[in-house]
Chains A and B, each alone.
Chain A
Amino acid sequence: MKNPQLRLVAALLFPIVVLATNTWMYQQQRSAGETFKFPIEGFDPRDLLSGHYLFYKVDYGVPSANACPTSDIAAALCLRPEKRVYPADERPANCEIYVQGECDANSVFTAGLNRFYIPQGYASQLEAKIADKKGEIEVSIDKRGNAAILDLLIDGKSWKETLQDE
Chain B
Amino acid sequence: MTMIEKKLQVWEQQGLINGDQYEAILAFEQGDKQNNNWWLYSLLMLGSAIIGLGIISLIAANWVQIPDSIKLGVDFSCLLALAGVIFWYQHQTKHLISDTLIVAFILLCLASIGLIAQIYHINGRWYHAILLWSMITLPIVLFARHLFVHFLWVSLFINAAVWSSVDLAAGQLRTAMRELPAVLLLAPLLSASLYLLARRIALLHKTSSSFFFWFQISALIALVAIDLIRSGDDTQIFEWRWYLPAWITAALLIGLILSRRSYRPLNKGLLIAAIILLILYYHPDILFTGETRYTFSALDASARTSIWQADDIRAPILTIFILFLYTIHAGNSGYHRTFNLLTFLIGLRFVALYFQAMGGLAATGVGLILSGLMIIGIAWFWYSSRDRLQHWSKELTL
Contacts and interface: CB of A to CB of B under 8 A. Distances in A.
A13 B83 CA distance: 8
A142 interface: no
A160 B68 CA distance: 14
Contact of B121 (A10, A14, A18, A116): A116
Contacts of A52: 60
A122 B142 CA distance: 42
Contacts of B213: none
B120 A149 contact: yes
A93 interface: no
Most buried by A among B72, B90, B123, B139: B123
A113 B123 contact: yes
Contacts, number: 74
A22 interface: yes
Contacts of A10: 139
Contact of A12 (B61, B86, B117, B132): B86
A72 B171 CA distance: 8
B74 to A, nearest CB: 13
B106 to A, nearest CB: 8
B113 A16 contact: no
A65 interface: no
A23 B115 CA distance: 10
Contact of A105 (B72, B120, B136, B174): B174
B79 interface: yes
Contacts of A22: 116
Nearest to A27: B120
Interface in B63-108: 63-64, 72, 76, 79-80, 83, 86-87, 90, 105
A23 B86 contact: no
B113 A19 contact: yes
Interface string A19-46: 1101100110010000000000000000
A11 B121 contact: no
B112 A12 contact: no
Nearest to A26: B120
Contacts of B63: 117, 119
Contact of B90 (A8, A18, A20): A8
A12 B116 contact: no
A19 B116 contact: yes
B276 interface: no
A9 B137 CA distance: 13
Interface in B109-144: 109, 112-113, 116-123, 132, 136-137, 139-140, 142-143
Contacts of B136: 14-15, 18-19
A156 interface: no
A15 B116 contact: no
Contacts of A91: none
B35 interface: no
Given A14-B136, A15-B109, A26-B122, A20 B83 contact: no
Most buried by A among B90, B122, B142: B122
A112 B118 CA distance: 14
A115 interface: yes
B86 A148 contact: no
A102 interface: yes
Contacts of B119: 26, 117
Contact of A11 (B61, B113, B123, B143): B143
A115 B87 CA distance: 39
A16 to B, nearest CB: 5
Nearest to B109: A15
Contacts of A26: 116, 119-120, 122
B139 A11 contact: yes
A19 B112 contact: yes
10 contacts: A8-B86, A8-B90, A10-B139, A12-B83, A19-B112, A22-B116, A26-B122, A113-B123, A115-B121, A115-B123
